[in-house]
Amino acid sequence: MTTQKPRWLNVKVVNGTYRVKLVIKDQTFVDELKRQIGANNRGWDPDTRSWVISPWALPELQSVIRRMGYQMPNFPPIRPSAPEIEEKIYRIDYVGQCKEREDKTITALGLVYGFWSVEIPEDVLKKFFDKGGKGLITDTETHYQILGLEETATPAEIKSAYRKYARQWHPDTCSEPEAPAMFRQINESYELLFNPVMRKRYDFGLHFEREAAKRQAKIDAAQTAAPRRKGRGGRRRRQFNENPYYRCPLRCGLVKVKGFQTVSKFKVTEIISWDDVTDQSGHVMSSSWEIVTKSVKIRWI
Amino acid sequence: MSMNQALTVGSVQAVAERDGVTLAETIMGVAALILFDNSESMTMPDCPNHQERFSVAMRELRRLQAAIEGKIGVVQFNTMPTFIPGGLPDDPAGSTDVASALEYVQKIDGCGIRIILISDGEPDNAPLAFEVAKRFTDTRIETVYIGPEGGSGAEFLRKLSALTGGVHVKQNVGEIPNLAATVTKLLSA
């Protein structure tokens, strides 16, 4: 009769988290760990080649260890503390597409010095970039929103936003497939908003569009049956791929945020500002996803 | 009062849906805003064949929008003004508050969009309507009177358009069936 020798792992406490290091590589254990412990409560530390586990997930961790036949190590007690909101500035080299994560939240990841270490929820991105939105029109995007502007923006602010967005999306520098269409749209919005008469007409159009939406809401509320007509004739929100979630209109920047640190990522709760990253000679950083190499390409313009 | 959500051919809503652009962008392209009186008095059946002024004017409004697609924005007014993206006003009700209607569209002053006010009656507050009209510095308010011969509303509308350098047209009840042609003429003037 052969008895299986119990497998073992090392556990240390570092900065209020458990660092779990497997002595021998075990992909089954890793898969089970990922299945049982949500992404919010676990992370991988490439420097020490160990798993970082939040003390909140200790019961799940112990259960995985038991189930996988490992010898139960001694877990020094850690009192889990509520996350502390802090303000940070990150140089984000690339913001990915919003996606549904394991915990059912919809977020985009930010690449910081080679690691996807910043997580920004979709609603936080929308709140920052969709400044023109008044919450009435849900299926359209205004020219102000395309340039991330308030409807009270001054001509100088319009020009500055245009430069920022055009630099990001110029087809010569951005290799993403939607770049030509985005660039055309940015130009169109700029030309319209920078012309005072056109802008005045557009503002009036927006005002009436909202009036129409209010009237439609009244009609819908008055009808007991399902509303007869739904669409308001609006252009669909910018969407160039199959992913139904929000796409951050800027790819990179020096971003001041509020949020809290989890074991794996900094979770953003609010974006305070989003500025250009410039080098010593005044060139501005622009980044895009290279489909061929499947990596982020940074250019200085 | 029932709200009309029908969509007439050539209305800004119909054009926006057809072209797949936003309503705001379609409204940008209008040549004129029609301020259309849909107060109670518009139900008077004094048009040819005992037709109501309202139903005859509605038919003309429909014809006008179909003829110059996307160029006409319709704002109905009685006690309250309302923008009608589908181009067909609600059933008549209430009084004739011209001052509120002009205030409602005042934002277009200086945009190069013309205002054509079509009404049959006396306003709730004529002095206030004149006050509001004086605030339009870059827009002429054209008026079209649709009512009985010698009706007192015509004089009010004449004064209103004169204040802004606009044209006043009298369209007696028998001539309401020519309303679309009259407005087209005004627009090409």
Q: Which of residues 187-206 of A touch B (CB under 8 A)?
A: 197-198, 200-206
Q: Do B23 and A198 touch (CB under 8 A)?
A: no
Q: How far apart are CA B19 and CA A298, in angstroms?
A: 38
Q: How far apart are CA A86 and CA A211, in angstroms?
A: 41
Q: What pLDDT is recorded for position A241?
A: 53
pLDDT in tens, A154-175: 999 999 999 999 988 999 888 8
Amino acid making up residue B62: R
Q: How far apart are CA A75 and CA B180, in angstroms?
A: 86
Tell me which residue of B52, B5, B68, B67 sits closest to B177, measured CA to CA.
B52
DSSP secondary structure of chain A = ---PPPB-EEEEEETTEEEEEESS--HHHHHHHHHHS-GGGEEEETTTTEEEE-GGGHHHHHHHHHHTTBPPPP-------PPPPEEEEEEESEE---EE-TTS-EEEEEEETTEEEEEEEHHHHHHHH-TT--SS--S---HHHHTT--TT--HHHHHHHHHHHHHHH-TTT--STTHHHHHHHHHHHHHHHHSHHHHHHHHHHHHHHHHHHHHHHHHHHH-SS--S----SPPPPS--SS--S---S---EEEEEEEEE-SS-EEEEEEEEEE--B-TTSPBEEEEEETTTTEEEEEE-
B24 → closest Cβ in A197, A202, A229: A202
Confidence of residue B161 (pLDDT cuts 50, 70, 90): very high
Confidence of residue A7 (pLDDT cuts 50, 70, 90): confident
% of chain B residues with pLDDT over 90:
58
Q: Do A233 and B23 touch (CB under 8 A)?
A: yes
A197 → closest Cβ in B3, B84, B111: B111
Q: Is A224 on the interface with B (CB under 8 A)?
A: no
Mean pLDDT of B76-103: 94
Confidence of residue A254 (pLDDT cuts 50, 70, 90): very high
Going from the C-alpha of B167 to that of each of B67, B115, B179, B187, the distances in angstroms are: 22, 11, 15, 11
- Alpha-carbon distance B14 to nearest alpha carbon in chain A (angstroms): 8
Q: Do A215 and B25 touch (CB under 8 A)?
A: no
- Alpha-carbon distance A280 to nearest alpha carbon in chain B (angstroms): 42
Contacts of B3 in chain A (CB under 8 A): 215, 218-219, 222
Q: Is B16 on the interface with A (CB under 8 A)?
A: yes
Q: How far apart are CA B120 and CA A202, in angstroms?
A: 31
Interface test with A, best of B21, B27, B71, B82 (most A CBs within 10 A): B27
Q: What pLDDT is recorded for position A230?
A: 44
Q: Is B24 on the interface with A (CB under 8 A)?
A: yes
pLDDT over 80 at A229, yes or no: no
Task: Answer whether B75's CB lies under 8 Å from B85's CB.
Answer: no
Q: Return the bridge partners of A53, or none.
A: A18, A42
Q: Do A219 and B3 touch (CB under 8 A)?
A: yes
Q: Is B1 on the interface with A (CB under 8 A)?
A: no
Render the burial of B117-134: b for 16+ CB within 10 Å, e for the rest. Answer: bbbbbbbbbbebbbebbe
Q: How far apart are CA A109 and CA A100, in angstroms?
A: 11
Q: Which tokens sit at B99?
A: 């001052």
Nearest residue on chain A to B85, alpha-carbon basis: A212
Tracing tokens 């250009």 back to the chain, one arrives at A276
Q: How far apart are CA B34 and CA A187, in angstroms?
A: 32
Helix (H, G, I), strand (E, B) or coil at B32: strand
B27 → closest Cβ in A198, A204, A215: A204
Tell me which residue of A52, A47, A17 sits closest to A33, measured CA to CA.
A52
Confidence of residue A268 (pLDDT cuts 50, 70, 90): very high
Mean pLDDT of A19-32: 89
List the Cα angle A180/A183/A186 in 5-degree steps. Answer: 155
A209 → closest Cβ in B23, B107, B112: B23
Ranked by mean pLDDT, which of A45-54, A127-136, A229-238 comes out on top? Answer: A45-54
ipTM: 0.87
pTM higher than 0.90 for the full model?
no
- Alpha-carbon distance B20 to nearest alpha carbon in chain A (angstroms): 5
Q: Do B23 and A208 touch (CB under 8 A)?
A: yes
Task: Answer whether A149's CB lies under 8 Å from A157's CB.
Answer: yes
Mean pLDDT of B27-38: 94
